[in-house]
Structures are given as C-alpha cells and as structure tokens.
Chains A and B, each alone.
Chain A
C-alpha cells in the first residue's frame, strides 16, 4: 500500500484529500491528512465579524465533517518534516511515513514580529481581524467605540487576501455612517505599498473609491514599532502616524512546522515551482495554498485553481509522467466595497485585473473592476459555495486558467 500524506486540512488540504480519494484506487493508495484543530474556520468571514454582519457561528464548522470517508483524519500538531527520510514527526511523538507528501499548512499572522504591537495596547486599542479571536474582540470594541482616528496598517507584504484591509475600510465607512457617527471618525489606510493596491488599473479604481469615501491613504510606510504611550506607529524611516484605534494586519508567515523543518524562505514559505507546484527542493513533495512562496495571491480561490492543477500532476507523478506547468497564477476575488456593493477582479501572474464581464454559467455574468450589487451578492454567496462546493471538491464551472473572454484591454 502506498501512502499520500497531506499536512493541513484547511481550504487547500481538504480539497486535495476529497478530490484524490475519488480518483485514487483505495487498494493502492492510502490517504491521510493531519491538522491540529477540530474547528475549520471560514477565514473570509473574519472580515464581517467586527461589524456584526457575521457572528462566530457563521464561520465555524467541524473539520472532520468535511473529510470524505476513506481518508484518515489525524488530529495532532505537526512537529517537523524530515524530507530526507520521507517522514513526518507529530508533536505527540508519532512518526508518519509517506511516498508522496502535500504541504498545505497555510499562513498565519505573527504580531510578535513588530516591536510594541503586543504590549499593553494589544486588544485594548490595537486589534487584528485575521484571527477568530481578534475579529471577535474588535467587534466588541466597535460596539461602544466613540470615534477618533482609526488606522488600518499592513505591516509587510505578502498578506493573505491582500484586498481584505481595503474591504475592512469600506465596510467601516458604511458601519459608521449607519451609526450616524461617520463625522466623528477619521479613516486612514497606512500601507507599505506605493499605492492602494499592487496592480496599476485596480490601484486607480480602488484609490478613487477610497478618495470618494474620504479615507486617507499613507503609502510606502514600513512599520518599525508601535509606541503605545503616545499612541502612534513609527516607520523605519522615522515617520509617525497617530491612532486612537489601530487595526493591524501583522506580518504573515508560513506555519511553524516549516521553520522547524528548515524548509522555508525568510518568511517560512516553501520554495515551490510556480507552474507545477512541486517543491523546488524535494521531488516527492508538492506545496499548495498559502504555504507556497509563489507571487500569486494567498486566497481561497487561488488554492482552488491550484488544486485543479495539483490533482492532475499527482496522477502524472504516480504514473511517472512529466508534470504539467499549468498553474498560471489565476486569482478571482470579490472585493466588498460597502453600501451593498462589490467589485470583482480576475487576474494571473502575467495579466493585471482588467475591466469587462466575467461569464459564469448559471450565475453570472459579473462585472469586472466595477462596483455593482451583483458582485456584493457574489461575495456573500461565496460562503455557501465554500462549505457546500469548494471543500467537498465539487466541480465548479470555473477554469483553473485565467481566460480573456469578456475582458477589455
């Protein structure tokens, strides 16, 4: 019996085992997946929690329930990978062996990377919304906050879902309007990038929306420390921004297991072939989802497109065929823009987000790079799609590769 071992049963790992169990012969391949937590979180939902749009129950499910029968689910922390021996050591001392390994251990925030972030201010005037606890604590804070200068700061790129901080600001604008206190709140976006977003056309559109909503943007700000006593953040080049409420997107890193196994780059992301998803260093290890060092967005939709390519390449790997270089960096993201509207962007490694229409059999078309109500519904529908189609590994009417159909240059 051969062994396929998957590390991490989050968005990507769950899709991988569910799809592969259907394809691989159970008499030949045993499939196991390891995760440390019983609860599966719908992370895109964390964005809505601070504003009371979602509660805790909307974003959690039992992890085991989403793993198909025939896959062994191991609940344990992973201590380290030993790629030279084809083994994985668990924190409880067990040792697992594998013929083929898939790393899907995701990314996490590490606030301890920024000096002063976790001092006395943490969860008093300083919050994050990238963790379930953080978003819930921020929801409590916002219920009684009386206004002032709200600064959203991205510590360093890359981060998961790079549009989430902008969505947070758009929703905050809407939230304070509804509470008749928008005039008491200054909204400020402090980013290390040189514009609202990385790609030029989306940056212009998002920059316009920020301006229209009276949200101040401070660019090229690389945070060095937080000064809690004076309530300000300081950049490495000695610029300062004061805050009354700081919403931080702390440094994002790969899982600790990658660091302990000495398999990652400077942020513990695993060097990965950008098109085949094979590890650059080990020829029986694939890497998928947020755990890779690829310049594609760290998003659930991207993980989905990667898994389509990965599934094919696992089969080719088993049959000793050459791997297909088919992953093109495709990402498809709904951006919530407040007041019941949203924007859709669709892009890949080469092609920046373009305007036009995005055809989707059964539901679309959605407008690209444009604010519409339909796109807002697309975003809200995503939660249903996530639990009911994405995780079970159902076929979605979406091509893994980006298509130019409907797009205008």
Chain B
C-alpha cells in the first residue's frame, strides 16, 4: 500500500486515495485531504463528516449519499454544494473512510 505524508502524519492510502485505516484519521488530516480536492471545510462540512464517522463506526461501512441526506440534516442540493463532483465519494474521502460501495 502506498503511504503519504498528510498534515505531518504518515498515512496509508488505497489505490483510489482513500485512507485504509479510519482510526488514523484526525481533523488536521481532514482539512488537508479536503484542500487537496479544492474544498475548504465549513461547519456544515463538519456536520456531515461527524455523521459519516459515527455511522461508519456503528455500521462498519461508509454511508451512501441518500443515507447522509436522510440523517445528517443536509439536503441533496447542499451535498452537491459542499462536495461538488461526487459528494458520496468525497464525504467518505475527507472522513477517512473507504470508498462507499455501489450495490450490484
């Protein structure tokens, strides 16, 4: 697995650039991962990130977009403003979670 230095930490990433160990995540890493995809994190972003982390811990998988909009108090339109170009994937990326699986 490739590693990279993010916010001063050595972090393991998968082939798609998602963190392989959610436990190694912290807020500084989130800030830098977001900056790399051109996003400056606001309070609304943090609300989404906190939901994603909590939910992934409980369910064992990163929540999909619909699950986020139903539970984190943001609309679909908000999500596309917060994380343009793939809000489902980007929310997981910044939250230090694996890429959400699309179902067969």
A residues at B contact (CB < 8 Å): 156-158, 162, 192-194, 198-199, 220, 222, 224, 236-237, 265-267, 295-297, 331, 347
Q: List 14 A-B contacts (CB under 8 A).
A: A156-B66, A157-B102, A158-B103, A162-B103, A192-B102, A198-B102, A198-B103, A224-B77, A236-B80, A266-B66, A266-B67, A267-B66, A295-B103, A331-B104
A296 lies within 8 A of B84 (CB): no
Cβ distance B88 to chain A, nearest Cβ, rounded Å:
9
Q: Is B36 in the interface zone, CB < 8 Å from A?
A: no
Q: Is B71 in the interface zone, CB < 8 Å from A?
A: yes
Q: Is B76 in the interface zone, CB < 8 Å from A?
A: yes
Question: Which residues of chain B are within 8 angstroms of A296 by Cβ–Cβ distance?
Answer: 104
Question: Which residues of chain B are within 8 angstroms of A222 by Cβ–Cβ distance?
Answer: 65
Cβ distance A151 to chain B, nearest Cβ, rounded Å:
20
Closest residue on chain B to residue A348 by CB atoms: B104
Closest residue on chain B to residue A192 by CB atoms: B102
Question: Given A157-B102, A193-B102, A295-B104, are A237 and B85 also a contact pair (CB < 8 Å)?
Answer: yes
Give the residue of A162, A194, A266 whose beta carbon is less than 8 angstroms from that of B104: A162
B77 lies within 8 A of A236 (CB): yes
**Interface size class of chain B, counting residues whose CB lies under 8 Å from the partner chain:** 10 to 19
A224 lies within 8 A of B76 (CB): yes
A157 lies within 8 A of B103 (CB): yes
Convert B58-97 into 0s and 1s, putting 1 for each residue whose CB lies closer than 8 angstroms to a CB of A: 0000000111001100001101100011110000000000
Question: Which residues of chain B are within 8 angstroms of A265 by Cβ–Cβ distance?
Answer: 67
Q: Which 7 A-B pairs have the closest CB atoms?
A: A158-B103, A266-B70, A236-B80, A266-B67, A198-B104, A157-B103, A266-B66
Question: Given A266-B67, A266-B71, A267-B66, are A295 and B101 also a contact pair (CB < 8 Å)?
Answer: yes
User: Given the complex of chains A and B, what is the CA–CA distance between A198 and B104 in angstroms?
Assistant: 6
B104 lies within 8 A of A199 (CB): yes
B residues at A contact (CB < 8 Å): 65-67, 70-71, 76-77, 79-80, 84-87, 101-104
User: Given the complex of chains A and B, what is the CA–CA distance between A296 and B104 in angstroms?
Assistant: 7
User: Given the complex of chains A and B, what is the CA–CA distance between A247 and B70 in angstroms?
Assistant: 27
Question: Which residues of chain A are within 8 angstroms of B101 by Cβ–Cβ distance?
Answer: 295
| Most A CB within 10 A of own CB, among B66, B86, B101, B103 | B103
Cβ distance A409 to chain B, nearest Cβ, rounded Å:
19
User: Given the complex of chains A and B, what is the CA–CA distance between A265 and B79 in angstroms?
Assistant: 20
Give the residue of B65, B76, B84, B104 whose beta carbon is less than 8 angstroms from that of A297: B104
User: Given the complex of chains A and B, what is the CA–CA distance between A131 and B66 in angstroms?
Assistant: 24
User: Given the complex of chains A and B, what is the CA–CA distance between A193 and B70 in angstroms?
Assistant: 21
Closest residue on chain A to residue B70 by CB atoms: A266
User: Given the complex of chains A and B, what is the CA–CA distance between A236 and B78 in angstroms?
Assistant: 10
Cβ distance B68 to chain A, nearest Cβ, rounded Å:
9
User: Given the complex of chains A and B, what is the CA–CA distance between A266 and B66 in angstroms?
Assistant: 7
Question: Which residues of chain A are within 8 angstroms of B86 by Cβ–Cβ distance?
Answer: 220
Cβ distance B34 to chain A, nearest Cβ, rounded Å:
18
Cβ distance B65 to chain A, nearest Cβ, rounded Å:
8
User: Given the complex of chains A and B, what is the CA–CA distance between A365 and B87 in angstroms?
Assistant: 44
Cβ distance A402 to chain B, nearest Cβ, rounded Å:
13
Question: Which residues of chain A are within 8 angstroms of B102 by Cβ–Cβ distance?
Answer: 157, 192-194, 198
Question: Which residues of chain A are within 8 angstroms of B104 by Cβ–Cβ distance?
Answer: 158, 162, 198-199, 295-297, 331, 347
User: Given the complex of chains A and B, what is the CA–CA distance between A192 and B64 in angstroms?
Assistant: 13
A237 lies within 8 A of B67 (CB): no
User: Given the complex of chains A and B, what is the CA–CA distance between A193 and B65 in angstroms?
Assistant: 13
Cβ distance A382 to chain B, nearest Cβ, rounded Å:
19
Question: Which residues of chain B are within 8 angstroms of A158 by Cβ–Cβ distance?
Answer: 103-104
User: Given the complex of chains A and B, what is the CA–CA distance between A198 and B71 in angstroms?
Assistant: 26
